[in-house]
C-alpha cells in the first residue's frame, strides 16, 4: 500500500484528489494539509511514501515545503500553472500534473510511483534496518555507550538532532528523527507525535484522553501523549 498525503490550499482541489485516489486500490490517503506549515507537520507525523503537492500557496509554496524536509518522499506536483515544470524536476519530482486532474492522468503518474518504490525496495539492503538486536555506538562528551536497540524506550526530536532514552541515560545524537525512523525495522517503534518515537515493546498501558487522543504509559512509568492523528493510526494498528 502506498501511503499518500495531499498538500493544497484549495479545499475543493483536495476533495477532488481524494475522490480520485479512493478509486486506486493501492493508495491510502493518510492526511491532508492546506498550507506548507501544516504539511510539514503532517509529513513529519505520517512519514508518507508520496506527496501530492500544489505549488502556489499563500506565504510559502510547494518548493519551500520540499526544501524544509530532511527526507523527501516521492512527489507528484498538481498545479494550475505550467511555468514551474522545469523547476519541479530539480526537486526530483516524479510527475507534474496540470489541473484539473483527471483519473487517467493521475493513474499514469501513480504508475511511476509504483515503479520507483518497487525499484527502491529491490535495491534496499534489508541488513541496514535496525532490529531489536541491533547495536550501535553513541558518544556524548566523555561518555560512550554500545546501545542495543531493544533497550531504547524513547527517541525524541530536538531540532535537527535526536535524544535517545535508555537505561537511565539520555544522550543526544546528531541525526534528525525522520532519518532514524527510516532506519527502523517496521513495527519496532511508533511515531506518537511530531517529536517522539516510542518502542512498541515498552508500552505498558494505553489511556484515552478527552480530545479523542491517547496517552501511552511505558514500563518505566514515562507517559507519552499521542497526537489525535496518530491516535487514529494506533487504534488501527491494534484493531481486532
Quick: pLDDT tens for 181-218: 988 988 999 999 989 999 999 999 999 998 889 999 99
Percent share of the chain, pLDDT over 70: 97
Q: Is the pLDDT of residue 171 over 90?
A: yes
d(CA 50, CA 114): 10
- Over range 14-21, report the average pLDDT: 96
pLDDT attached to residue 147: 93
How many residues can be counted in the chain?
240
Contact present, 112 and 95 (Cβ < 8 Å):
yes
For 88-175, list the strands marked E by DSSP: 95-98, 135-140, 143-148, 152-158, 161-166, 172-173
Domains and CATH numbers, the chain: 2-124 (3.40.50.2300), 135-237 (2.40.50.1020)
Integer distance in angstroms from the first to the last C-alpha of the chain? 20
Quick: pLDDT tens for 37-79: 999 999 988 889 999 999 999 899 999 999 888 778 999 999 9
d(CA 147, CA 151): 7
pLDDT attached to residue 175: 87
SS3 144: strand
Contact present, 46 and 31 (Cβ < 8 Å):
yes
pLDDT attached to residue 212: 86
Amino acid at each position: 500500500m502506498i501511503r499518500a498525503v495531499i498538500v493544497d490550499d484549495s479545499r475543493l482541489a483536495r476533495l477532488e484528489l481524494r475522490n480520485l485516489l479512493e478509486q486506486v486500490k493501492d493508495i491510502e490517503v493518510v492526511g491532508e494539509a492546506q498550507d506548507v506549515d501544516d504539511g510539514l507537520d503532517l509529513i513529519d507525523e505520517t512519514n508518507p511514501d508520496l506527496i501530492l503537492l500544489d505549488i502556489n500557496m499563500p506565504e510559502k509554496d510547494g518548493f519551500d515545503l520540499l526544501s524544509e524536509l530532511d527526507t523527501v518522499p516521492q512527489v507528484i506536483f498538481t498545479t494550475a500553472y505550467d511555468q514551474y515544470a522545469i523547476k519541479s524536476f530539480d526537486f526530483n519530482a516524479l510527475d507534474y500534473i496540470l489541473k484539473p486532474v483527471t483519473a487517467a492522468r493521475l493513474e499514469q503518474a501513480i504508475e511511476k510511483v509504483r515503479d520507483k518504490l518497487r525499484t527502491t525496495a529491490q535495491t534496499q539492503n534489508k541488513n541496514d534496518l535496525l532490529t531489536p538486536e541491533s547495536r550501535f555506538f553513541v558518544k556524548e562528551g566523555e561518555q560512550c555507550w554500545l546501545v542495543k536497540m531493544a533497550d531504547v524506550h524513547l527517541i525524541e526530536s530536538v531540532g535537527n538532532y535526536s535524544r535517545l532514552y535508555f537505561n537511565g541515560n539520555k544522550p543526544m545524537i546528531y541525526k534528525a528523527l525522520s532519518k532514524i525512523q527510516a532506519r527502523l525495522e517496521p513495527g519496532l517503534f511508533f511515531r506518537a507525535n511530531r517529536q517522539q518515537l516510542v518502542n512498541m515493546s515498552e508500552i505498558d498501558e494505553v489511556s484515552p484522553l478527552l480530545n479523542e487522543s491517547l496517552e501511552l504509559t511505558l514500563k518505566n512509568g514515562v507517559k507519552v501523549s499521542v497526537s489525535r492523528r496518530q491516535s487514529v493510526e494506533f487504534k488501527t494498528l491494534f484493531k481486532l
